[in-house]
Amino acid sequence: MARVLTPRAEDFPRWYQDLISKAELADNGPVRGTMVIRPTAYAIWERMQADMDTRIKAAGAQNAYFPLFIPESYLKREAEHVEGFSPELAVVTHGGGKQLAEPVVVRPTSETVIGEFMAKWVDSYRDLPLLLNQWANVVRWEMRPRVFLRTSEFLWQEGHTAHATEADAKAYTLKIHHEVYERHMRELLAIPVVLGRKTNRERFAGATSTYTLEAMMGDGKALQMGTSHELGQNFAKAFDIAFSGVTNAREYAWTTSWGTSTRMLGGLIMCHGDDNGLRIPPALAPIQALVTVVKETDGSVTAAAQALADDLVAAGVRVKLDDRVDTPFGRRAVDAELKGYPVRVEVGPRDLAEGRVVLARRIDGSKTPLALGEAVGAVTAALEADQKALYDEALARREANTVEVSTLDDALAASATGWARVPWSKVGVEGEAKANEQSITVRCLFRADGSVPASQDEPDLTAILARSY
């Protein structure tokens, strides 16, 4: 059979594009930099969204929705914010056939418009904390688009909160970072992430602190999977988000923002995919088990396959029955591998006559004949084992491709093929600028115990340097 995908080792970017196309995940949109998310990928996004939404609500935030269009004057109120986003803004100057009195910006993020309404809703310390989240699309005009990773329009969630104290704002930012984002990525996506602090050079425009989750992709590059930001009182002062404290003194709130996006789909593909296609962690997969009729004779194979599918559904497995016997079995098997179904149960007339089926596992590529009566137990056991196996494989790859070094030059050399862990004191602001000249960035900073530092000026910090998406 002809090769379906370009091998990853031969051309990783081409493999990525091949997989997105062949697995029917997305297409390029009609406007440069936009994308059409196809049902296969959107079903995965829906499960990511549902899990993340549950975790966000458990952390106390409520969902709301804010306008797509933001008055240009709102962004200009926070100077660092508008300066940081200026090259990426899409601005509407005409509407209804007339020039607008004030241009409006298609939201790149919603700190400014949400800040405007927080100022209306917050009056007393009793109104705090105000914990909001929205699921939305945003637009950042992208010069070098790549589907899922960098597109001019993408889907995401963005959380925005206001607090009475700096300590409370910091604690909530880290709560989202650790208890929502890291657990979502580890437990559902099976992607190991390094939690750390962004350098001052890399932090979010208008923030006082930015925390990041960094994952290694299959080619050794880093991908920022999500970020959480302490905004200090910058936006509160710009939008007058103020409240009466316990002593009735007027105080400015402390605000935060945090977000993850459809970039996680790109991370899923590049972290877990192989030369045969996508590999979806079983806990995430919209279809966990594909029950496949290999060949039909008199209807009995399809009936047995349907009965098995029903038993799997009763056991809590998400199942699809593939009874398209008018399509060659080999083609269907290749398609199933491309789309990354964790488990395939093959039901054919010869095996069925002997009371057997074949269990094909996508993660390790194994195929095992087993008694029909053992199929449900074998499928559920495989799903549980393969969720862990994917995470362990990704973690082992990251560790194998991360080098401990003691100088900036060695870190730059190591970043050609993977990650470098190096003392931040050996890099510093000047070394970071030198790295950037070679398209290498400081991905994050962390303490010796793995915790997130309060500033980049703490002693004995470790930096991760890498090339990134």
| Contact criterion met (CB below 8 Å) for 291 and 310 | no
* DSSP letter for each residue of 426-469: GTHHHHHHHHHHTT-EEEEEE-TTSPPPS-TTSTT-EEEEE-B-
* Cα(259)–Cα(261) distance, integer angstroms: 7
pLDDT of residue 1: 46
* Cα(15)–Cα(28) distance, integer angstroms: 16
What distance separates the 2 farthest-apart alpha carbons in the chain? 83
Tell me the CA distances in angstroms from 324 to 192, 289, 319, 320, one per residue in order.
Answer: 37, 16, 15, 12
Kindly report the number of other CB atoms within 10 A of residue 163's CB atom: 23
Q: Is the dihedral of CA 407, 201, 139, 55 positive or negative?
A: positive
- What does R_g of the chain's alpha carbons equal in angstroms? 25
* DSSP letter for each residue of 73-84: HHHHTSHHHHHH
pLDDT of residue 351: 93
Q: What proportions of the chain, in percent to the nearest 5, are helix, strand and coil?
A: 40, 30, 35
pLDDT of residue 82: 85
Kindly report the number of other CB atoms within 10 A of residue 279's CB atom: 27
Q: Running DSSP on this structure, what letter comes out for residue 253?
A: -
pLDDT of residue 2: 54
* Cα(70)–Cα(108) distance, integer angstroms: 9
H-type alpha helices, 69-165: 72-76, 79-85, 111-121
The secondary structure element, H or E, covering residue 250 is strand 250-252
H-type alpha helices, 122-197: 166-175, 183
Determine phi and psi for 144, rounding to 5 degrees. Answer: -125, 75
> What residue type is 196 in one-letter code?
G
* Cα(248)–Cα(213) distance, integer angstroms: 39
E strands present in 306-375: 319-322, 343-347, 356-361, 367-371
The gap from C-alpha 147 to its chain's centroid, in whole angstroms, comes to: 13
All residue ranges of the chain with pLDDT < 70 are 1-2
Nearby residues of 6 by Cβ (< 8 Å), 6 or more positions away: 14, 15, 18
* Cα(451)–Cα(457) distance, integer angstroms: 15
Give exposure, 359-372, as e/b (b: 16+ Cβ within 10 Å): bbbbbeeeeeebeb
Closest CA to 195 of 177, 180, 173: 177
Say what the pTM is.
0.96
Nearby residues of 153 by Cβ (< 8 Å), 6 or more positions away: 29, 33, 34, 35, 137, 138, 139
Closest CA to 340 of 300, 285, 390, 382: 285
Tell me the CA distances in angstroms from 294 to 135, 252, 326, one per residue in order.
Answer: 42, 67, 10
Q: What is the pLDDT of residues 126-144, one digit of tens each?
A: 999 999 999 999 999 998 9
| Cα angle for residues 389, 361, 14 (degrees, 5° grid) | 80
Domains and CATH numbers, the chain: 12-272 (3.30.930.10), 289-398 (3.40.50.800), 402-466 (3.30.110)
